[in-house]
Amino acid sequence: MSRCVVRSLVVDWHSDDEWCAEHPTLLEVTAGVSCWQTGGMSSTATSATPDTSVYLDRLAKVRVSMVEQNVDTVMVSVGHDLPYLSGYSAMPLERLTMLVVPRDGVATMVIPGLEAARVEPQPGVFELLPWGETEDPTAIVGKLAAGSKRIAVGDQMWARFLVELLPHLPGAEYTRAVDVVGHLRMSKDQAELDALAAAGAAVDKIAGELQRGEIPLVGRTEAEVSAHLGRRIIEEGAQKVNFAIVAAGENASSPHHHPGDRVIKKNEIVLTDFGGTMNGYCSDTTRCVFTGEIAPDVAEAYEVLFAAQAAGVAAATVGTPCQDVDRACRKVIDDAGYGEYFIHRTGHGIGLEAHEDPYIVEGNALPLAHGHAFSVEPGIYIPGKWGMRLEDIAAATNDGPVSFNNSDHHLISVDA
Ligand code: ZN
Ligand code: ZN
Ligand code: ZN
């Protein structure tokens, strides 16, 4: 596995690897920041940081859901529900940070004392409760939630925190916080849509560079091009690189290929799928280029892919079930005879997280609503030969589908 230089900047702080596994393909990144400083919506985020009223409004809606779902307490820690509800991203380390939200009464942010200064106070949203190095933070959380019968915990809260919490709240029943927070996070407000649009525009510039042949390909390894894309994502304003897949020729037939030592050759397809997190919100786009004159079988399939992706975006209107967007893409590919080579769902929701609800997949009958943002990314993968995918982030709005990725959608022959 390649080394992540972003992480190596803080390697003295932690010896564990796991929280950095999300961008293992980066060989080099020039930003002088660490993952935890930039993950999620930090208190230093600018344009996308809503004011206190936004968090008060979100917490009020969470409490309505808590009543409906018969949840007494919501607990969110590491992960994306915490910044969504408080504006603060926890450091993903062993010391516990936890926002404890009772159904009635004020929320409390339990935080390591040495990290309290990182938190921007949000008067009326939560009270800060720092704990000292010799205290047991799970006991503190247990006291705050005493008497709770049903507790909703964030998906990304670490198992160790929950396991340590269990003895402090005997008899409580646990459920996922996605039941009370997920539907709120799914419907983006205008500031969130603007943040997604800005993040998308930033990576579109990089796609344009690829398509104009400004990013050297032939003779470089996939990993080198991946590192190049990662560096550009940071230069274009993202604080964090989420992934930069580069897959050449036959490797492109593996949708989540891990860029490696494979050297890119002349006359083959190069699939790139990359995105970062900018001011808390994610980007994610896929474009393919061809290093030479496009082979006829590839050109023929790409026309189908192009039409399928456009059909998917066009279908993404308010009220349309998510699965119908998938069906719209799939029908075009099926009708052209490539159905068996479209081996994944059409898309995923996106926001604070690179993948979140709603999923654009058969079986998801959820009707799209204004503010739902998601990828539309059909692909055609011929095992051992080549693969192709075309991905935009789109949003359903009352004015129709909006695409946040607007770089050229064609397969472009590059001399690079
Ligand atoms: Zn990292
Ligand atoms: Zn992607
Ligand atoms: Zn995607």
Distance 34 CA to ligand 2 centre (A): 23
Distance 235 CA to ligand 2 centre (A): 19
Ligand nearest to the CA of 229: 2
pLDDT class of 228 with cuts at 50, 70, 90: very high
Tell me: do 157 and 209 sit in the same domain.
no
Q: In this structure, how many other beta carbons lie within 10 angstroms of the beta carbon of residue 337? A: 10
Single residue among 165, 185, 205 that ends a domain in this structure: 185
Task: Please give the residue range of the domain that contains residue 110.
Answer: 52-185
Q: Is residue 19 part of a domain?
A: no
Q: How far is CA 101 from CA 98, 124, 145, 357, in A?
A: 9, 12, 9, 22
Single residue among 185, 204, 223 that ends a domain in this structure: 185
Question: For 354-375, what is each residue's pLDDT tens digit?
Answer: 999 999 999 999 999 999 999 9
Distance 218 CA to ligand 3 centre (A): 25
Q: Is residue 8 part of a domain?
A: no
Distance 11 CA to ligand 2 centre (A): 28
- Report the distance separating Cα 268 and Cα 250, nearest Å: 9
Ligand nearest to the CA of 273: 2
Ligand nearest to the CA of 255: 2
Q: Taking the model in full, what pTM does it have? A: 0.85
- Got the DSSP string for 117-146? GGSPP-TTTEEEEEE-TTS-HHHHHHHHTT
Q: Is residue 216 part of a domain?
A: yes
Distance 399 CA to ligand 2 centre (A): 25
Distance 416 CA to ligand 2 centre (A): 22
109 or 7, which is more confident: 109
Q: So what's the pLDDT on residue 122? A: 87
Assign 34 to helix, strand or coil: coil
Tell me: do 241 and 365 sit in the same domain.
yes
- Report the distance separating Cα 52 and Cα 86, nearest Å: 9
Tell me: do 81 and 163 sit in the same domain.
yes
Has residue 416 got a pLDDT over 60?
yes
Q: So what's the pLDDT on residue 257? A: 93
Ligand 3 is an ion; its neighbours by CB within 5 Å are 284, 375
Give the E-state strand segments of 225-295 in sequence order.
240-248, 269-278, 281-282, 285-290
Q: How far is CA 273 from CA 45, 287, 358, in A?
A: 25, 7, 20
Count: domains in the chain: 2
Q: How far is CA 281 from CA 32, 81, 162, 355, in A?
A: 20, 13, 27, 11
Which CATH number fits the domain that encloses residue 294?
3.90.230.10
Single residue among 185, 210, 245 that ends a domain in this structure: 185
Distance 52 CA to ligand 3 centre (A): 31
Ligand nearest to the CA of 10: 1
Which CATH number fits the domain that encloses residue 165?
3.40.350.10
- Report the distance separating Cα 216 and Cα 416, nearest Å: 5
Question: For 33-86, what is each residue's pLDDT tens digit?
Answer: 333 333 333 334 444 454 789 999 999 999 999 999 999 999 999 999 999 999
